[in-house]
Structure 1
Amino acid sequence: MTRDFARSNAIQARLHDLVPGGAHTYARGSDQYPESMSPILVRGKGARVWDRDGNEYVEYGMGLRSVTLGHGYEPVVEAVCRAIADGVNFSRPTELELLAAQDFLSLVPGADMVKFAKNGSDATTAAVRLARAATGRETVAVCDQPFFSVDDWFIGTTAMNAGIPAAPTVKFGFNDLDSLASVLEAGEIACVIMEQATALVEPAPGFLEGARALCDRHGALLVFDEMITGFRWARGGGQQLYGVRPDLSCWGKAMGNGFPISALAGKREYMELGGLRTSADRVFLLSTTHGPETGGLAAFRAVVEAYRTTDPIPRMERAGERLAQGVNTIAADLGIADHLQVAGRPSCLVFLTKDADGNPSQPYRTLFLQELLTRGVLGQSFVDSAAHTDADIDLTLEACQDAAAVYRKAIDNGTVEGLLTGRPVAPALRRTAAPRHLDDRGDG
């Protein structure tokens, strides 16, 4: 089975000439997909997308988890069109800013005030800035989770830290109160920032409550990153689901169903430090040209309405449960359940790929991606949306049946050689362009 990617490959090559990395987000880069199989998309509807070569796919990942209602969800699109027809950006606040703030605070149990921005990093970095001002401390404690910000205080802790000065940032382990206690006891910590859960790991009983108590004891602010949990775990985020109130929380992704909007929310005593009611030195909290533009705010309000009236989270979870059960049954029937597995929260699934020795493997991951792509399934994960229908899951399971059979051959052979075309994918945040350096092979 083959697909033509000629037009997509040509556009991707041109993108590499004009855009560093060939994409505006590292996670969307061609090095995250099999070589010469990086579709350039032209449109989407629901859970389906189409590329420049006319190929149709069931898509997963859904805009890096930012789309929960489906591509082109009409009530959101219509609300945005109505709003922007009357202007997009003004020199004074609009009533829409008040209405959106009221909507947000009605959903989030742990917040008294909110300020909107455009990117998740806007919100997390503002939270760090605010925590430093409120506590008079500089060091930030971050959980050993994948990503929090593009800004120096976090990226300086990753392998991709060229050009970044050493940041006063320390790490602690998730579900490890002892490691958090050690970090807090060792230095003056301004804030503790974490995701309350990940796709694969739920908070252990008492962990979030213990983190809250430790922050209170040591005078550090507790910051929850709700970029993924918000509107995917629950409409009020992890703090609604798990019942622990942070000092500050950071939101983005699905709150606009793909439209650009993020938010910093928190307790009044801290948020007011960035306002006009404080006697202390003011904090430059958030001040963005596009934070309050009408399109993003209208999208957010339409998303809130959809969550009030259509209950999308159970639909995501039902589709995910069926998909995970189906793929894992396929793998078990083929005798490769120890090598290929779908795991995680049903609305945020990932696939785990291991080699013949049972070790996590990028080559085997790439082989699975390759076989899915050729059969009409696009995605670096199985993160779904409320738009994924039974027909979409059926197509995905059919593709996984054939892809798993190829995977079984690779396990039996002890190698992907002869089955995988091109070089394996590589981590998005890595020190060097190798092993997907662009050279005379063409697409990297």
Structure 2
Amino acid sequence: MTDTGDMRTFSRSNVLQARLHQLVPGGAHTYARGADQYPDAMAPVLTRGLGAHVWDADGNSYVEYGMGLRSVTLGHGYRPVVEAVTAAIADGTNFSRPTELEVQAAEDFLTLVPGADMVKFAKNGSDATTAAVRLARAATGRQIVAICDQPFFSVDDWFIGTTEMDSGIPEQTSAQTVRFGFNDLASLDAALSAQPVACVFLEAATATAEPAPGFLEGVRTLCDKYGTLLVFDEMITGFRWSASGAQTVYNVQPDLSTWGKAMGNGFPVSALAGKREYMELGGLRTDRDRVFLLSTTHGPETGGLAAFRAVVAAYAATEPIARMEATGATLAREANAVAAELGIADHFQVIGRPSCLVFITRDVDKRPSQPFRTLFLQEMLHRGILGQSFVNSAAHTDDDVAETVRATRASLLVYRRALEAGTVDGLLVGRPVAPALRRLAAPRRALDSNES
């Protein structure tokens, strides 16, 4: 074990995590939140949060990054959002008819996203993305979906069938999804010319990849050429790049767009938006066969819509994206300066948009390394920093950033020792983390209660 000063213990969290494995497949309701994404016996089970800080079942406090898988931009327990939700649900949460709140929320959304004519709300991103696929197939009469080679779009078969975790998904379903490369118009042209494609699905930008000049415009042109709908996934870019989404940042208008995550500051609300000619296919003002677009019991639940409206108000009154960009830029600059000072800048690097930072960990041969990533996570946890990334929020203060940089320096000193030794052995306790979407539970299979 490394010298980290005031060592943290995780005994209560470990008991709760073991119980979770008995009750919940995978020990978490989201694979990205699984214990296999953290060092062995160091996966904190949280009890509360405030601003940029969280506390676990053992009483440990942390500066948190990742912020609810990027869903929290204003901070945990942000009072105006909490108060708006409290007031809304006090008058009821779910009714047998639409509410005035649904009209107001839709007006707010469509004012923010001028390229969209209509919107339909839901509770999670996958419902919205799958509705977009269904709508595109109905509108075009085609089956094939072309997705960008990006990490994640949906829990549903049309996407998960393309991942390592494709067990239980018919091969013919997986075969209806093809891939193309980001910033690679030739690969998209090849995909669209090879067969009729219903829609092209992509994030306009990611934390680590900006669109090359002309790329998004080229995607729009190719979609128009081949009669294919263009869908932007704004789950992450919406309210992190801009409250109006990446489509306004890069000035390219999709036919449909899907939203979620930060639009409710952590409250469950998502949306499908798009051009009227397509969205009306799911309504009552069409003479074509109707599309079962979105119809969910909890889609118009008042708490989520009130949270969304409060987020819109907060973005109008304050500048959360500017704050995230400023503190993120400072964190990236200073963390990278520490790595350079220690002579390991080729092995550890903070990259990405300042409001959506990630860190890259490489081994002695400069190859991406899960063992070295796990060592860094271990050391940061012991120093009060929780996060699989450096994705921040507007609640992160200058002091939080300074604390994170101090923890990064101390952790990278240990990281350098491992590089000098050529291995994390003797420094890393337990097994390395593993990709969340993988075929087998190994190499981070959870131990049964009768196993040691």
Q: Could you state the TM-score of these two structures normalised by the residue count of structure 2?
A: 0.97
RMSD: 1.1
Distance 1:204 1:248 in 2: 22
2:134 maps to which residue? 129
Q: Which runs of 5 or more residues in structure 2 are unaligned?
A: none
Find the partner of 2:83 among 57, 78, 85.
78
Q: Does 1:146 align with 2:151?
A: yes
Distance 1:264 1:182 in 2: 28
Aligned-residue offset at 1:357: 0.4
2:375 maps to which residue? 367
1:31-430 correspondence to structure 2 within 5 Å = 31-166=36-171, 167=173, 168-430=176-438
Distance 2:449 2:186 in 1: 49
Aligned-residue offset at 1:438: 1.9
Distance 1:286 1:195 in 2: 21
Alpha-carbon contact 1:13-1:442 (below 8 Å) kept? no
The aligned amino acid for 1:333 is E
Alpha-carbon contact 1:13-1:443 (below 8 Å) kept? no
Aligned-residue offset at 1:109: 2.1
Distance 1:240 1:208 in 2: 12
Alpha-carbon contact 1:196-1:224 (below 8 Å) kept? yes
Deviations 1:206-227 (A, max 9, x none): 1100000100110100000000
Q: Secondary structure at the match of 1:134?
A: helix
Q: Secondary structure at the match of 2:114?
A: coil
Q: Secondary structure at the match of 1:193?
A: strand
Distance 2:450 2:321 in 1: 41
Deviations 1:4-50 (A, max 9, x none): 10000000000000000000000000000000000000000000000
Q: Which runs of 5 or more residues in structure 1 are unaligned?
A: none
Aligned-residue offset at 1:257: 0.1
Distance 1:210 1:443 in 2: 55
Aligned-residue offset at 1:311: 1.1
Equivalent residues, number:
444
Aligned-residue offset at 1:323: 0.4
The aligned amino acid for 2:182 is F
The aligned amino acid for 2:198 is A
Deviations 1:302-337 (A, max 9, x none): 000000000100000001001001110000000000
Q: Does 1:11 align with 2:19?
A: no
Q: Could you state the TM-score of these two structures normalised by the residue count of structure 1?
A: 0.99
Q: Secondary structure at the match of 1:348?
A: coil
The aligned amino acid for 2:335 is V
Alpha-carbon contact 1:35-1:443 (below 8 Å) kept? no
Alpha-carbon contact 1:36-1:443 (below 8 Å) kept? no
Distance 2:187 2:247 in 1: 22
The aligned amino acid for 2:300 is P
Which stretches of structure 1, 4 residues or more, deviate above 4 A after TM superposition? 440-444
Aligned-residue offset at 1:439: 2.7
1:28 maps to which residue? 33
Distance 1:59 1:311 in 2: 21
Aligned-residue offset at 1:443: 10
Deviations 1:220-253 (A, max 9, x none): 0000000000000011000010000000000000
Alpha-carbon contact 1:109-1:239 (below 8 Å) kept? no
